[in-house]
Amino acid sequence: MVFSSLVFLFVYLPAVLLTYYISPAKWRNIVLFLVNMIFYGWGEPVYLLLMMLSIVVDYLLGIGIGKYREKRRVATGMLVASVVWNIGLLFFFKYFDFLLQSLQSVGILRGISPLGFPLPIGISFYTFQKLSYTIDVYRGECKEQKNFIDFSVFVTLFPQLIAGPILQYKDLAEQLSKRVLSMGKMREGIRIFTIGLCKKVLLANSVGKLWDDYRVLEITELSTAGAWIGLLAFCFQIYFDFSGYSDMAIGLGKMLGFDFNINFNYPYISKSVTEFWRRWHISLSSWFRDYLYIPLGGNRKGKTRWMLNILIVWAATGIWHGASFNFLLWGLYYAVLLMIEKLWLLKKLEKLPVFLGHIYALFFIVLGWGIFAIPDATAGIKYLGALFGTTGVIIEPGDIFQMLNYMVLLIALIFASVPLGRQLFHKMPAKAQSVTETVLIMGGLLLSTAYLVDSTYNPFLYFRF
């Protein structure tokens, strides 16, 4: 993984950008499509044919939906075919074995062997992107895409293909055929990409080692303080890992002339769980809102239906993250919290001092990550219990050592989780901003490169989704 990251940074990416920029405008999408295929094939060559077949199916269905939009029954049939095709593929690769093994655990279908197919990288992301296209065309929010290459570029854009953010077709339709390349966009893209690279390599990878130290401990070796230290480390790791990758994708998109929407907006400064989900993985929340929650009726069909819709959406959100009961439980956990807030708690939270809102939100967010982080239900329950003293040990000498060893990093993580640095930067004179930005970009690239060269630890948590 580390070697691949270095090759991508210093060989593949410069070659791609050079080829892309020197190509005539009318050829750039063809170049980009080939680049996307090479990039995906690099990590998952066996599934290139599946990707192409999936693209062809939705391309043809999109044209059909657009052609027969006035014949609602025909258009609806084609939309249903697209939904069945995409969700069917996702279910087959991601959930079939999980469902089969769950049934076998209660004595059903024991004669059938699990398929054991590896999960295609990024299938949860590009499945939702293709669905956004056929649904947007059906709703009349955009025209069907008749250019096969342009549609293929939308589905396979390499900056965000394997780990998001999730792109909605209506947001990108015009950019597929017309986008501007400029030095300003290139500079902005490099800046955003470097921020993301530093988040991922310098922050997420570093604190991830602390979480690894604690998650491998037997529950009898885990103190209350240690359980909290480990879980807080995971909170930082998953945030800087995923937001870092999202920033890199957005930055690379800028370099190629695209404008992607932000995917994270300082989620850990939230004062409620509702606010957290407006700031965390925004593209996923937006997708479920636009393509599931609102079509189900949202909050327009009475309180009981409203609560049911929230339950359905958050069960789906949980399962989207993985074929495991802990993800489903994590989704239902947030469904309950959000229902409580919307029915009763939000108005009370607004009357509290801001710092109490932050404490409340962070407490439940951290507990939520405890459910998310540990797939094994028994181990997860025991770990959550350790947070509240079930092991009988408050603190171990090793916990003090870890805190001292990671103190500087933890301070940096807290600082990077709040917008204070950005606010201070924007108060500087314009010339000082320019100089500081250049120094930080160069320093960040050098430090990140040095880390990648020296380290063998470079996991991407969201590649499994």
Please report, for the chain, the start and end positions of each structural domain, with discontinuous segments joined by +: 2-178, 184-464
Mark out the alpha helices in 178-223 (DSSP H runs): 183-198, 205-215
Is 80 exceeded by the pLDDT of residue 317? yes
**pLDDT tens track for 362-414:** 999 999 999 999 988 889 999 999 999 999 999 999 999 999 999 999 999 99
Active-site residues: which are they? Answer: 321
pLDDT at 4 over 90: no
Q: Report CA Rg, the chain.
A: 23
* Residue found by looking up tokens 């500081």 in the block: 436
Read off the pLDDT of residues 192-224 as tens digits, 9 standing for 90 and up.
999 999 999 999 999 999 999 999 899 889 999
Q: Please give the Cα distance from 4 to 197 (Å, whole number).
A: 14
**Cα separation of 140 and 134, whole Å?**
10
Which of 159-173, 273-287, 352-366 is the least confident region? 159-173
The answer to whether the predicted template modeling score (pTM) of the entire model surpasses 0.85 is yes
pLDDT of residue 118: 87
CA angle 32, 35, 40 (to 5 degrees): 125
Q: Are 93 and 120 in contact (CB under 8 A)?
A: yes
Angle between helices 303-320 and 325-340 (to 10 degrees): 150
pLDDT surpasses 70 at 2: no
- In the chain, % helix, strand, coil (3-state, to 5) comes to 75, 0, 25
DSSP 294-318: TTTTTTSS-HHHHHHHHHHHHHHHH
Average pLDDT of span 73-102: 94
Handedness of CA 12, 14, 15, 18 (dihedral sign): positive
Rounded Cα distance between 298 and 136, Å, is: 18
Paired tokens of 357: 């809102």
Question: Which amino acid, one-letter code, is at 407?
Answer: M
Nearest to 373 by CA among 233, 164, 179: 233
Contact 282, 261 (CB under 8 A): yes
**Residue 162: DSSP 8-state:** T
CA gap 180, 178 in Å, rounded:
7
CA distance 256 to 35: 12
Check residue 150 and report its DSSP letter.
Answer: H
